[in-house]
Amino acid sequence: MESACQKSYSHYYPPIITPSIEQQVNRAERHFDQHSSEHSRRRKEWAAPKIPHQLASAKLSSRSTVKTVAFHRKPFCSGILIWNVNLSSETVEYFASCPGRKRNMPAVTLHSGTDDTSPVLGTAHFRCSHQTIFGIGDPKTDPNGVVWEQMQSSSRWLGRRRFKFEFTDRGKSNAVDSRSSLPSRRHLRWQRTVDPADSADNVTAKPSTRNYRLTDQGDGKVLAVFVMGDLNSVRKEGELRVLQWLSPSLEMAVILTCASISERLRRD
């Protein structure tokens, strides 16, 4: 018979049941299987490409391009030759002069020709690490005719994921509706994208963190996509694919801001 002390001990401290060796082996196998499956799942998530969140309002109405221009660096020069590759014979349509870090000189000057002796279409100045002041026109020959705009990098820290700017669009010259030919203020944004649909087969088939998508913040339409060139190519900067019809002034602003972003990335 158990004493009162033993009964009290068994009441507060139940007997310890040691699992058998077979139970311990089964438990260890189940734990190993769970750990292995969890490790495999985490490895797949880590290996999967990280696609950043795209705006829900950003939508591509058509994948066909209205115009495609290629950016090429001139040998032994910091200037950029901008080719129109839509024509049957490729021609140089613009030239972006980038003199480097020189005082009292624009960071980017857009010319309508093959070199810096051609007429000036617009200039861009880097005021600080996150601010770019640009204007369409020649500030030397017609300083009062240039309307200066500001492009601000809205990314945190030193990352250059987004560039916002406003521009007064003079309207479409071939517009049927007269109201659409009136000047309008447009809010635009360059944003990084790694969407494979934005890549061009003749530029790169792999997503790049240096690709940018231009979105109209008013209606959410994607106006253009800048696809960076192959890293193995020293001269080819990339291609600018225009997806919507743009007025001449807005097209020059898009090309000028795109060249400014390319120069910013080169300096970084």
* pLDDT value, residue 183: 80
Measured between alpha carbons, how far is 151 from 117 in angstroms, rounded to an integer? 26
Lowest mean pLDDT among 41-50, 165-174, 224-233: 41-50
Whats the size of the chain, residue-wise? 268
* pLDDT value, residue 140: 93
Per-residue confidence band for 47, with pLDDT thresholds at 50, 70 and 90? very low
- pLDDT digit string (tens) for 135-179? 999 999 999 999 999 999 876 555 668 999 999 987 654 444 444
Instruction: Check pLDDT > 70 for residue 222.
Output: yes
What is the chain's mean pLDDT, rounded?
77
DSSP state of 149: E
Of 134 and 90, the structure prediction assigns the larger pLDDT to 134
* pLDDT value, residue 3: 57
- pLDDT digit string (tens) for 91-100? 899 999 998 8
User: What's the mean pLDDT in 66-86?
Assistant: 85
Cβ neighbours of residue 215 closer than 8 Å, sequence gap 6 or more: 55, 57, 58, 188, 189, 191, 221, 222, 223
User: What's the mean pLDDT in 116-145?
Assistant: 93
In angstroms, what CA-CA distances link 79 with 48, 70, 96, 225? 37, 13, 6, 21
* pLDDT value, residue 198: 62
Q: Classify domain 67-175+182-267 by CATH architecture.
A: Beta Barrel (2.40)
Please state the domain extents for the chain.
67-175+182-267
